[in-house]
């Protein structure tokens, strides 16, 4: 995912149509304010997060890609696609105020003739797309999805803490079938399971430490089902739980009209002796005997350890910046950047093009964007500094996010703060756990630095 695509686009009918969702996200305030940039273009290790998704798809051979966005961000995302150097056929579609995944697919369904892969714009994952898609190719389920184990936080992320409501997930280990997705209350000590489920899948493993990546591969007939059932708005909240339950409750196939679409799907013979596709699945993708007896199947790829996450909250965005910067193969300090004497940039940090750092600066576990001007004796720890930021002498930033064109006065000390685009932090200001924007009075937002 972090390299260059090695395949080329051809004129054959695509196996998959990729839908990349780039909707607005209030949980990313103030990073996604109009003065800053669309969420899909927020930098992770000095590349737009959308770059990682497009590379992931291209490296998996998915070369027919449609980016879905809002009217507010259509122009900026289209401009980025125009300069993006990739090999896929990429188009951008504005869908107005639509925010839910299934609602978007319903509008796009007439244009989709193949199976479809739905991907959020904020996904960073080191699982090769080909590994994930191979499970779908081999098993041919109605839906495949990807769950990942939550990474350990670096402790950054501004004034808020990440909120993760993790479901109870049940996976049948021999087959990788997703057989349970159940929301649980934090105070709930016991999860009840039907005996029929336990008898059917005695090798089922339960976990409440897995996140849904919101990556879904759907058979084409599933789109027809979504179109016919407008009450299904979200794949995660509506479609996936229904299909998971219907695997083991045949009555749901009839009562929800799923059986009608199962009967209309094209037949496909699977040679169980063919092991040519059984490779490259390191974890969470069981390759036991193929089970063709069930009419409806849902599978899950489980990613443990490694780098996997969604930048859908400010703290998670910061964690992914740290994680990707640590393993990035790009030059850590761009050749056009200027570093003064005794300035140190850690091996886990990056400095973008044309940035200037004064004497005796220290950059640790941080990413500094392009065209930044940083004064003398500045310490930046566990932070993300976007493009065209000006930082005065003697400033200390710890666990902060500073958006583009912001200015921070001399000797300011910020900890656990977000600084919005075009904002100004006063000289000598001490702030902790606050959000500072161009529309707020910095004095009113002031809290003592601890």
Give residue-wise pLDDT tens across range 261-306: 987 766 554 444 333 333 333 445 554 444 556 789 999 999 988 8
Decide if pLDDT at 258 tops 80. Answer: yes
Whole-structure pTM value: 0.89
pLDDT higher for 291 or 130?
A: 130
How distant is the alpha carbon of residue 408 from its chain centre? Answer: 30
The Cα 32–Cα 166 span in angstroms is: 25
Give 274's contacts (C-beta < 8 A, 6+ positions apart).
Answer: none
Q: What CA–CA distance (Å, rounded) separates 222 from 288?
A: 25
371 by Cβ neighbours in 10 Å (0-12 / 13-18 / 19+) ranks as: middle
CA proximity to 349, closest of 313, 317, 390, 385: 385
* Token reading at 54: 């497009």
Residues 86-97 have pLDDT tens digits of 999 999 999 988
How many C-alpha atoms does 43 have within 13 Å on its Cβ side? 23
Give the percent of the chain with pLDDT over 90. Answer: 70
The predicted pLDDT at position 293 comes to 65
Residues 309, 303 contacting (CB under 8 angstroms): no
Question: Which is higher by pLDDT, 371 or 140?
Answer: 371
Task: Give the Cα-Cα-Cα angle 237, 201, 169 (nearest 5 degrees).
Answer: 30
pLDDT at 1: 56
Q: How far is CA 149 from CA 24, 100, 166, in A?
A: 25, 24, 10
**Residue-level pLDDT at 381:** 96
Q: What is the mean pLDDT of residues 240-257?
A: 93
pLDDT, average across residues 13-35? 88
> Strand ranges (DSSP E) for 143-287?
143-149, 168-172, 177-182, 204-207, 210-218
Give 183's pLDDT tier (boundaries 50, 70, 90). Answer: confident
pLDDT at 228: 97
Taking a C-beta distance cutoff of 8 angstroms, is the pair 182, 244 a contact?
Answer: no
Mean per-residue pLDDT for 357-376?
97
Q: In what order do the strands lie in the sheet with 401-402?
A: 350-351, 367-368, 384-385, 401-402, 418-419, 435-436
Domains of the chain by range and CATH?
Answer: 16-315 (3.90.550.10), 332-436 (2.160.10.10)
Instruction: Count the residues in the chain.
Output: 450
Reading the block at residue 98, the tokens are 């639509």
Q: How far apart (Å, rounded) are the C-alpha atoms in residues 181 and 389? A: 44
**Tens digit of pLDDT for each residue in 44-63?**
999 999 999 999 999 999 99
Segment among 10-14, 85-89, 431-435 with least mean pLDDT: 10-14
The pLDDT of residue 26: 74
64: left (phi over 0), alpha (psi -120 to 50) or beta: beta
| Residue-averaged pLDDT of the chain | 87
pLDDT of residue 5: 44
**pLDDT grade, residue 410 (50/70/90)?**
very high
Q: CA 132 to CA 204: how far, in whole Å? A: 20
- Per residue in 188-200, pLDDT tens? 555 678 888 888 8
CA-atom Rg of the chain in angstroms: 24
Identify the band that residue 161 occupies on the pLDDT scale cut at 50, 70 and 90: confident
């Amino acid at each position: 995912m972090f390299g260059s695509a090695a395949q080329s686009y051809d004129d054959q009918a695509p196996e998959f149509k990729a839908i990349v969702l780039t909707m607005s996200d209030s949980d990313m305030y103030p990073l996604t304010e109009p003065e800053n940039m669309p969420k899909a273009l927020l930098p992770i290790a000095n590349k737009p997060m959308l770059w990682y998704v497009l590379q992931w798809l291209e490296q998996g051979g998915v070369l027919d890609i449609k980016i879905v966005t809002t009217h507010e961000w259509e122009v900026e995302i289209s401009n980025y696609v125009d300069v993006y150097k990739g090999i896929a056929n990429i188009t951008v579609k504005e869908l107005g105020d639509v925010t839910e995944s299934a609602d978007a697919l319903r509008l796009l369904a007439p244009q989709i003739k193949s199976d479809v892969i739905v991907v959020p714009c904020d996904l960073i994952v080191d699982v090769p797309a080909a590994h994930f898609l191979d499970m779908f190719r081999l098993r041919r389920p109605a839906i495949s999805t990807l769950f990942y184990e939550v990474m350990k936080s670096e402790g950054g992320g501004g004034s808020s803490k990440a909120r993760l409501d993790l479901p109870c997930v049940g996976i049948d280990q021999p087959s990788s079938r997703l057989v349970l997705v159940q929301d649980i209350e934090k105070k709930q000590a016991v999860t009840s399971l039907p005996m029929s489920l336990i008898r059917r899948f005695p090798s089922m493993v339960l976990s409440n430490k897995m996140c849904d990546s919101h990556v879904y591969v759907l058979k084409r007939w599933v789109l027809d089902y979504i179109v016919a059932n407008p009450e299904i708005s979200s794949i995660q909240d509506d479609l996936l739980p229904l299909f998971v339950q219907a695997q083991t409750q045949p009555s749901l196939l009839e009562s929800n009209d799923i059986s009608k679409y199962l009967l209309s799907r094209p037949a496909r013979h699977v040679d169980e002796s063919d092991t040519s596709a059984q490779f490259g699945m390191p974890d969470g993708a069981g390759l036991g005997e193929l089970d063709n007896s069930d009419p409806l199947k849902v599978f899950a790829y489980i990613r443990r350890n490694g780098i996997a996450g969604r930048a859908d909250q400010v703290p998670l965005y910061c964690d992914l910046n740290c994680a990707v910067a640590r393993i990035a193969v790009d030059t850590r300090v761009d050749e056009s950047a200027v570093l003064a004497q005794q300035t140190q940039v850690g091996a886990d940090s990056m400095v973008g093009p044309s940035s200037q750092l004064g004497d005796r600066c220290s950059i640790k576990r941080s990413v500094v964007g392009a065209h930044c001007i940083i004064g003398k004796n500045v310490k930046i720890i566990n932070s993300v500094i976007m493009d065209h930021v000006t930082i005065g002498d003697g400033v200390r930033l710890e666990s902060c996010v500073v958006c583009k064109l912001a200015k921070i006065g001399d000797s300011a000390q910020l900890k656990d703060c977000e600084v919005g685009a075009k904002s100004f932090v006063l000289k000598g200001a001490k702030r902790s756990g606050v959000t500072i924007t161009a529309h707020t009075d910095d004095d009113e937002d002031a809290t003592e630095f601890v």
